[in-house]
Amino acid sequence: YGDPNQKIDYVFKVVLIGDSAVGKSQILARFARNEFSLDSKATIGVEFQTRTLVIQHKSVKAQIWDTAGQERYRAVTSAYYRGAVGAMLVYDISRRQSFDHITRWLEELRSHADKNIVIILIGNKSDLEEQRAVPTEDAKEFAQKEGLFFLETSALEATNVENAFMTVLTEIFNIVN
């Protein structure tokens, strides 16, 4: 995952938001280190992780920010959103409430972040199909209405995590180029 001596063409800050326990930290661990842990403790300390990848022959350093247990309503500060060019709005497909709260997160995002920020809605824990509480169609419709990208992911099974990040980063790349 990246040569430290590589020259960097772009740094893109992307923020993860969504209710507590939807899997934000595990999505980041999967993307940044290809790791997953079943008993992930509440996030403390580390503000962001990076991974450098190549998009259209340019090296892009993705700087992904994770909320340090600040998921209570309005507890995420504007410093968190400052300079972000991408956002991943995460809910848990097995927990309806986490999807219902997406409108709040979107409102908060739109009031704090740059208006051109690229946003993807992510339904995580797609491996828990038998406990599904949010139909894919509902989320798809919501995303379409709000102009968001949308994917269901599983950090556990590594399904679509790479795809989700590449969707956001490629779109940002296309906007700045």
131: contact with ligand GDP by CB under 6 A: no
Is residue 128 part of the contact set for ligand GDP (CB under 6 A)?
yes
90, 40 in Cβ contact below 8 A? no
Residue 25 in contact with Mg ion, rule: CB under 5 A: yes
For residue 172, report the phi and psi dihedrals to the nearest 5 degrees: -60, -45
Instruction: Classify 69 as helix, strand or coil.
Output: coil
Q: Decide whether 43 or 98 has the Cβ nearer to Mg ion.
A: 43
User: Is residue 63 at the binding interface for Mg ion, with CB under 5 A as the rule?
Assistant: no
Examine residue 51 and tell whether it contacts ligand GDP (CB under 6 A).
no
Determine if 21 is a binding residue for ligand GDP (CB under 6 A): yes
Closest CA to 173 of 32, 49, 30, 9: 9
* Minimum CB–partner distance for residue 44 and Mg ion (Å): 9
Please give the residue ranges that form the binding site for Mg ion (CB under 5 A): 24-25, 43
Please give the residue ranges that form the binding site for ligand GDP (CB under 6 A): 20-26, 38, 40, 43, 124-125, 127-128, 154-156
